[in-house]
Chain A
Amino acid sequence: MDRYLSNKKAILIFLLPALLAYTVVLISPVLQTMYRSFFEWDGLGTAVFNGLDNYKEMFQDPLLMTSLRNGFIFSVVLVVFQIGLGTILALACADPRVKFRKMLKTAYFVPVILSVTVVCQLWIAMYDPTNGLINKLFQIMGISYQQNWLTSPTVSIVAIAFVNAWQFMGYQFSLLYAGVKSIPEQYYEAATIDGCSKWMAHRKVTLPLMKETFKFCFIIAITSGIGAFVQMLIMTNGGPGTSNYTLTFMIYRYAFLENKYGYASAISVLLVAISLVATMIINKVFDRKDG
């Protein structure tokens, strides 16, 4: 058997295509980005080693603070809307009295499969200050909160984050719903016998048992907030001014519009570092609650 399954030639034939492609197209670019972050380089000419200059420049770049702040706002909107509201919806939907469950779940999931371009353009239309759905709706309801949703430097980042939150709500909802469903019914029976109300049972049983699900949902929400890009590009092109920049938008601009590849590489390295640290912190926080 061992000889049969350790046929060297077969191992190479099965392994190499994927391994080579992965190394050349994914791992080596990652290493290159790290390496290039120490050079001044326009993507064409010779790269000049400049040590940590790119990093120094980055921390003095006023766009960095804007980008970090926007990444933070984006993450908060995703967490509150998708995980906060998503948990409430998942718990409600799991209630045996709810009818048309399949239809509800399908309706929540449809935006997930739409192209991000379609979703962004749909919301550009909805946010339109004069003809858009949102302002018109407020008008009808007699709310005077009319906004230039996408051209206001303070409101637009939240408005854009909301588009992402809306589109991928169904995805987080499915994860949370699967998490709720995976809890054995007996736990609730036991909780009821002990005199727990439904609400208490959810707090004491459901939420602790869904730790793994929550961990994953937080990782998705926060890392996609930090790396947000496409929505800004389509909806406001980073504007008004530079007020909607994120780290990825900085990379995009410096690399592809200003040909500062070395500098953009340094920003990429920072983005990876922040994403990894965020993931590690989330892991730590959720594992500690064990005790």
Chain B
Amino acid sequence: MQRVKSFLIQVPLWLYFIISVYPLFWMISYSLKDNNEIFVTNPFGLPTQFRYENYINAWTQFNLPQYFMNSVVVSTVATLFIVILALMFSFAIARLRWRFREAVRLYMLVGMFMPLQVIMIPLAILVKDFHLANTYGALIIPYIVIGLPFSSLIFYGFMRDIPSEIEEAACMDGASVYRLFTNIIVPVVVPAIATVVIFQFLNNWNEFMLANILISDESMKTLPLGLLFFQGQYSTDWGGMGAVMTIASLPMVIIYLFFSEQVERAMTMGSAVKG
């Protein structure tokens, strides 16, 4: 009886396991097949003969390396600035003493509840007016700002929990406020920094909506945007399409498999702040 029950509990879990993973397995396996095998002879299983040429074609014939490069630059720079600016901001509202810090904190909180669509139009105009269209800045600047509210609040939560004796000690030792920040506060919140880095990097890496509006130049496209245009070009070559998609996904999946626990913690932490 116990064994039957235990089995019954596991059934939905394994069923959903298949639903979650099989589409990805299917994608990777068709990236190694030709059309005949995908459509007729072997649609569901592993490829009988690995056709690596799909990968070589995908990498050499299209702008895939360029898209990759753009995504790396945009995501890295934006994440770096988010961390620096949010650390500084939260230090000012969590540790320094002044009158309106609670009001400023609430002001920043508003940004977390604002649907991004609402700034789409003015942002497109702003980017055009500042001649940022089709530059890295067109994406990096909005991404930094969009990341600020969430990151600041995570840092704020961590910084507030640091005991105030730490400042007394720093003051006694004659450390300036700047040294207090760089040598004491920032090292203490390293776990929070790791969370924010993962969360923001993933967000920036996969952002599509704003990139779609702000970037039209082929050479500046990020990966999610660039991939969109394979659809038409590859409509008859499913293997090539599968290879492109697999190449685009594998780096993130591999990183995730190594750091899965940290990634999940980072992603779910938002709920603690927003809820």
User: Within 8 Å of chain A (Cβ to Cβ): is B72?
Assistant: no
Q: Does B23 contact A133, Cβ atoms closer than 8 Å?
A: yes
Q: A residues within 8 Å of B by Cβ?
A: 1-2, 4-8, 10-11, 13-15, 17-19, 21-22, 25-30, 32-33, 36, 43, 85, 88-89, 92-93, 95, 97-99, 102, 104-118, 121-126, 130-131, 133, 136, 166, 169-171, 174-175, 178, 212-213, 215-216, 219, 223, 227, 229-230, 233-234, 247-248, 251-252, 255-256, 261, 264-265, 268-269, 271-272, 275-276, 279
Q: Does A110 contact B113, Cβ atoms closer than 8 Å?
A: no
Given A88-B12, A98-B13, A26-B96 contact (CB < 8 Å) = no
Q: Most B CB atoms within 10 A — which of A122, A136, A276? A: A122
In the complex, which residues of chain B have a beta carbon less than 8 angstroms from the beta carbon of A14?
88-89, 91-92, 96, 181
User: Taking CB as reference atom, which chain B residue is nearest A279?
Assistant: B113
User: Taking CB as reference atom, which chain B residue is nearest A98?
Assistant: B10
In the complex, which residues of chain A have a beta carbon less than 8 angstroms from the beta carbon of B85?
17-18, 21
The 8 closest A-B pairs by CB, nearest first: A29-B122, A18-B89, A14-B92, A29-B119, A25-B145, A216-B275, A97-B6, A15-B92
List 5 contacting pairs A-B, 8 Å CB cutoff, sorted by A.
A14-B181, A88-B12, A115-B208, A115-B227, A271-B118
In the complex, chain B residues 136-154 whose Cβ is within 8 Å of any chain A Cβ: 141-142, 144-146, 148-149, 152
Q: Does A18 contact B177, Cβ atoms closer than 8 Å?
A: no
In Å, the complex CA distance between A170 and B223 comes to: 22
In the complex, which residues of chain A have a beta carbon less than 8 angstroms from the beta carbon of B97?
2, 5-6
Q: Most A CB atoms within 10 A — which of B30, B97, B268? A: B268
Determine which of B123, B171, B271 lies in contact with A175 in the assembled complex, contact meaning CB atoms within 8 Å. B271
User: Within 8 Å of chain A (Cβ to Cβ): is B106?
Assistant: no
Determine which of B44, B178, B209, B271 lies in contact with A230 in the assembled complex, contact meaning CB atoms within 8 Å. B209
Q: What total count of A-B pairs have CB within 8 Å?
A: 270
Q: Quick one: CB contact mask for B115-147 with A, threshold 8 Å, 1 for yes?
A: 101111111111000000000000001101110
In the complex, which residues of chain A have a beta carbon less than 8 angstroms from the beta carbon of B6?
95, 97
**What is the CB-to-nearest-CB distance from B262 to chain A, in angstroms, rounded to a whole number?**
12
Given A14-B88, A18-B88, A110-B20 contact (CB < 8 Å) = yes
In the complex, which residues of chain A have a beta carbon less than 8 angstroms from the beta carbon of B1?
none
Q: Does B121 contact A36, Cβ atoms closer than 8 Å?
A: yes
Apart from A15-B93, A25-B144, what 15 extra A-B contacts exist at CB < 8 Å? Answer: A4-B177, A6-B96, A7-B96, A28-B122, A33-B122, A106-B260, A113-B202, A113-B263, A117-B248, A118-B248, A121-B241, A121-B245, A178-B271, A216-B275, A276-B113
User: Taking CB as reference atom, which chain A residue is nearest B141?
Assistant: A25
Determine which of B9, B12, B95, B231 lies in contact with A5 in the assembled complex, contact meaning CB atoms within 8 Å. B95
In Å, the complex CA distance between A20 and B32 comes to: 50
In Å, the complex CA distance between A124 and B31 comes to: 15
Q: By the criterion of a CB under 8 Å from any partner CB, how many residues of chain B are at the interface?
A: 96
In the complex, which residues of chain A have a beta carbon less than 8 angstroms from the beta carbon of B141?
21, 25
In Å, the complex CA distance between A140 and B195 comes to: 45
**What is the CB-to-nearest-CB distance from A47 to chain B, in angstroms, rounded to a whole number?**
12
Q: B residues within 8 Å of A by Cβ?
A: 5-6, 9-10, 12-14, 16-17, 19-21, 23-24, 26-27, 30, 38-39, 43-44, 85-86, 88-89, 91-93, 95-98, 104, 107-108, 110-111, 113-115, 117-126, 141-142, 144-146, 148-149, 152, 167-168, 171, 177-178, 181, 202, 205-206, 208-209, 212-213, 223-225, 227-228, 230-231, 238, 241-242, 245, 248-249, 252-253, 256-257, 260, 263-264, 267-268, 271, 274-275
In Å, the complex CA distance between A275 and B114 comes to: 9
Q: Does B12 contact A268, Cβ atoms closer than 8 Å?
A: no
Q: Does A17 contact B88, Cβ atoms closer than 8 Å?
A: yes
Q: Does A18 contact B148, Cβ atoms closer than 8 Å?
A: yes
Q: Does A268 contact B275, Cβ atoms closer than 8 Å?
A: no
Q: Does A93 contact B13, Cβ atoms closer than 8 Å?
A: yes
In Å, the complex CA distance between A5 and B256 comes to: 40
Q: Does A15 contact B148, Cβ atoms closer than 8 Å?
A: no
Q: Most B CB atoms within 10 A — which of A102, A118, A216? A: A118
In the complex, which residues of chain A have a beta carbon less than 8 angstroms from the beta carbon of B39?
130-131
In the complex, which residues of chain B have a beta carbon less than 8 angstroms from the beta carbon of A27?
107, 110-111
In Å, the complex CA distance between A178 and B225 comes to: 33
Given A92-B13, A122-B23, A25-B126 contact (CB < 8 Å) = yes
